[in-house]
Amino acid sequence: MNACVARSLHRVFCSRLLKKHYGKVSSLRLGFSRNFRTASVLHHLEEDRPVFPGSRSNYIHSLEFLRPDMYDGIPVYRVMNKNGEIIQKDQDPQLDDETVLKMYHNMTLLNTMDRVLYDSQRQGRISFYMTNYGEEGTHIGSAAALDFGDLVFAQYREAGVLMWRGFNLDDFMNQCYGNNLDYGKGRQMPVHYGSKKLNFVTISSTLATQMPQAAGAAYAYKRAQNGNCVICYFGEGAASEGDAHAAFNFAATLECPVIFFCRNNGYAISTPTKDQYRGDGIAARGPGYGMSTIRVDGNDVFAVYNATKAARNICLNEMRPVLIEAMTYRIGHHSTSDDSSAYRSVDEVNYWDKEDHPITRLRYNIVARGLWDDNKEKAWKQLTRKQVMKAFSTAENRKKCNPETMFDDVYDKIPDHIQKQKEQMINHKTFFCLLLFLLSLLSSPFLFLFSPPPFYFYSPPFLFLFSPFSFYSLPPFFFYSLPPPFFYSLLPLFFSILSSPFFFLFFSFLSSPFFFYPSLSLLPLSFSFFPFFLSFPLLSLFPSLSSFFLSSRLFPPSFSLPVSFLLLSLFPSLSSFFLSSRLFPPSFSLPSFFLFSPLFFPPPLLYFSLSSFF
């Protein structure tokens, strides 16, 4: 007991003593630090070197500015020339034939998929697409050098990386069509791929947001010591974002094992590199941030492979970030929302497409190796086209994701106010679908076919000869005299013409009572036709509104909206079908739409309603 009391008193005494003399101890510590600095400065002064923190340099005694034109720039590393020949044998990656052929197969398959999906967007089948033309070498070369455990943060033009890792054609098509097999459940725009299984983080549209995330993920990998690194793809345009500079600095100071892979393809949408930066590209920024840096020929798949493989070794062995700038060219438009002919010449694009294409360069190489020939090329093109079209057809005919699933995978338990919003959405969707379907029926010429009998029996003797309504009075009798198969096969074309709002607006004017003034006996009939035909323009205008959306998919961006509206207004019933196809399964074909529409809008009901109206 006495021992415990003694120890307590001793601790109190020591604490008070330290507190009393704390100032003296601090002063001694500060003095020691100053003496150490002074000695250190004197030591460096003897060597005549600066001791400023954060720099490694010497003193100079003449006024000089470091100017960007004082050096030739960072060189571009390459392995093959444009003819596919290895320039220095010691730089040959020594890949086996199977790997080289897989590179070529993936690059060409990606190219074929791009063409099909680009055309499908122009046909209005999908809403958006971005091609990878001309940049296939940067994708496949880098992906082949990585381990499947390495985490990928992509921008939006790295589909080849996913393809190399095993993302098949069905996966690509399902995402672009947003059907019920899409991993993202239809919530992302087309080309915004992602795969947890393949360690590919879902793409974000906003530029450079993935770069700080990649630095943070690499820091986590460093702490976990899992033997893998992170690669982050971005463009030279994204490098102008503040997030890019933050990511570079974080990764360098925290010594994160991340590869920053810049695809410098010459254009950030429509902004050329000369308007994007004034320095020596993106690679020149690497040394300033303390990163090992290399500039590589992005159209040389072997050079990209070697550079990425070496960068990965640096990341894992030295735990440092690496910057790779792959110089390439974007042959295609930025996206389906872009028309690159407005800001670059056709000759410029043709040069890169014909003279320095990564696929062409690799094909030269494998032909020289005896791995490829014209017969294999022809057979492979046919096979890839067949594979892509099969996946395309399958994905297009799958059901869309139910909008109700947008509330899934967000909350562990949906809050009450969100549950109410979900119920409101379901009720609104049901009402809107019914309203839209009825409007599409009313705006179709089925209303014309099931109009009151006076229209059929009174119009042929007079209107067929003396008025433009003869155009309307003839087709019903003509169609009814045909066998059902022929009748229904001709309906879509005939109805799409009749449902033009401009056409009905014109004839509604002709159906006014003044038009029949010379024939006073038809005056009562003209009054009945007048409101009947006036109803067509109002109703047919509804599906024409969908032509705005359809026009942006069917015509190039340079196609002006008024012109596209004028053309598509001639076929509003077709555009209304495209709109309704988002509510019904894709197998709900256009003939079926016309075939079953009387079932949803019974002719007797229509007959009595119109008879009472007239």
Q: What is the pLDDT of residues 319-365, one digit of tens each?
A: 999 999 999 999 999 999 999 999 999 999 999 999 999 999 999 99
Q: What is the spatial distance between Cα 598 and Cα 87, in angstroms, rounded to a whole number?
A: 72
Reported as type and span, the H/E element at residue 31 is: helix 22-47
Using one digit for the tens of pLDDT, what is the confidence trace for 104-155? 999 999 999 999 999 999 999 999 999 999 999 999 999 999 999 999 999 9
CA–CA distances in Å: residue 208 to residues 27, 192, 211, 243: 49, 15, 5, 6
Using one digit for the tens of pLDDT, what is the confidence trace for 491-547? 443 444 444 444 444 444 444 443 333 333 343 433 333 333 333 333 334 444 433
Query: pLDDT grade, residue 159 (50/70/90)?
Result: very high
DSSP 524: H
The token pair that represents 37 in the structure block: 């600095």
Q: What is the spatial distance between Cα 217 and Cα 432, in angstroms, rounded to a whole number?
A: 44
pLDDT, residue 297, reads 98
pLDDT, residue 3, reads 58
Mean pLDDT of the chain: 76
Question: Residues of the chain with pLDDT > 70: what percent?
Answer: 63
The token pair that represents 272 in the structure block: 């050329």
Res. 609: pLDDT tops 90: no
Domains of the chain plus CATH, in order, are 89-401 (3.40.50.970), 406-433 (no CATH)
Using one digit for the tens of pLDDT, what is the confidence trace for 353-406? 999 999 999 999 999 999 999 999 999 999 999 999 999 999 999 999 888 888
Reported as type and span, the H/E element at residue 292 is: strand 292-297
E strand spans, 196-246: 200-201, 230-235
- Residue ranges of alpha helices (H) inside 260-397 are 273-276, 285-288, 301-318, 346-354, 358-369, 374-396
**Across the chain, which distance is largest between two alpha carbons, in Å?**
132
pLDDT, residue 589, reads 36
pLDDT, residue 275, reads 96
Neighbouring C-beta atoms of residue 94, cutoff 10 Å? 8
Half-sphere exposure of 404 (CA within 13 A, CB side): 9
- For tokens 């345009």, name the residue: 237
Using one digit for the tens of pLDDT, what is the confidence trace for 80-101? 999 999 999 999 999 999 999 9
Res. 608: pLDDT tops 50: no
Using one digit for the tens of pLDDT, what is the confidence trace for 551-564? 333 434 444 444 44
Using one digit for the tens of pLDDT, what is the confidence trace for 208-240? 999 999 999 999 999 999 999 999 999 999 999
- Residue ranges of alpha helices (H) inside 225-300 are 242-253, 273-276, 285-288
The token pair that represents 30 in the structure block: 């500060």
Q: Provide the whole-model pTM.
A: 0.68
